[in-house]
Amino acid sequence: MSTKKLCQYIAIESSVKNRVTAELTEAHKDLQKNDLFNGHSRRYEPRNEDPNSPLGEKLPEEHKKVVARAEAIVKLTIERLVEHYDLAATRDFGNCVAKADVEVDGRVLLKDVPVAHLLFLEKRVDDLLTFLRKLPTLDPTENWDYNPSQDLFATAPVQTARTKKISRALVLYEATKEHPAQVKEITEDVQAGTWSTIKYSSAIVAQKRNEMLRRTEELQKAIKFAREKANATEVDEKKVGRAILDYVFKG
């Protein structure tokens, strides 16, 4: 029984599957052409052997060869499927024994994780990284303090003036005996009050998010290392295809 690393079988599985699929597709096309499996031979005998007689005409033999043989296609199909089934079985049985520890920051976070679950974790951690990178962080231009009563971050109050336009009369020329006073209406911005603004935010501290990202990236690397280690497990080649197909085609 042949023994190789699991990753060696995985490396060739795709090409074997594609080749087998292509060959079986061609075989399937041939199976739909009934004419390829049928032939005939015809020989003409005149009723009168006298070549000079109207009934003594001789005609050439007719032949049509059988182009494809059903048994040959069955045999080819069996051989190709056996190859594919055996390779898939070797991979799947190998996945049952291929395990590795996930180690981060010098400690074993997960022990004896099957390679199939490591693949699952690898994809999910990629999604987790995407999520963390989109987490909103507090505006670094503001000074924030945690407000436990509202479970939010808050800034100190900032005072800003509120102005209002007020109209008043502006005397351009005082009244004299000869002329009345000349007055013009103007508007002025006058402080009407004061706004006191407190900003709130439910975003997280950038340092906290960055630390979560760092740990997740370390976890991502650890999972990949573990998967590579698990895939390097020596596994036995499995032979299942012949038994399956012998049962189907031979009983």
In tens, the pLDDT along 164-191 reads: 988 888 887 787 878 888 888 888 888 8
H or E segment to which residue 107 belongs? strand 107-114
Residue 159 pairs in a beta bridge with: 196
Spans of all domains in the chain? 157-197
Instruction: Please say if the pLDDT value at position 7 is more than 80.
Output: yes
Residue 168 has what pLDDT?
85
pLDDT score of 132 more than 80? yes
User: In the structure, what pLDDT confidence band is assigned to residue 229 with cuts at 50, 70 and 90?
Assistant: very high
pLDDT tens sequence across 10-65 = 999 999 999 999 999 999 999 999 999 999 999 999 888 877 787 888 889 999 99
Q: What is the mean pLDDT of residues 77-86?
A: 95
In this predicted structure, the answer to whether residue 1 has a pLDDT above a threshold of 70 is no
Averaged confidence pLDDT in the chain: 93
pLDDT at position 184 is: 86
Q: What is the mean pLDDT of residues 131-146?
A: 96
| Cα gap 193→125, rounded to integer Å | 53
Q: Which residues of 49-81 are buried (b: 16+ CB within 10 A; e: fewer)?
A: eeeeeeeeeeeeeeeeeeeeeeeebeeebbebb
pLDDT at 194 exceeding the cut of 90: yes
Is the pLDDT confidence value at 2 over 80?
no
- Judge contact between 99 and 229, C-beta under 8 A: no
* Single-letter code of the amino acid located at 136: P
Q: Stretch 225-246: mean pLDDT, rounded?
A: 95
Is the pLDDT score of 69 beyond 70?
Answer: yes
Q: Is the pLDDT of residue 212 over 70?
A: yes
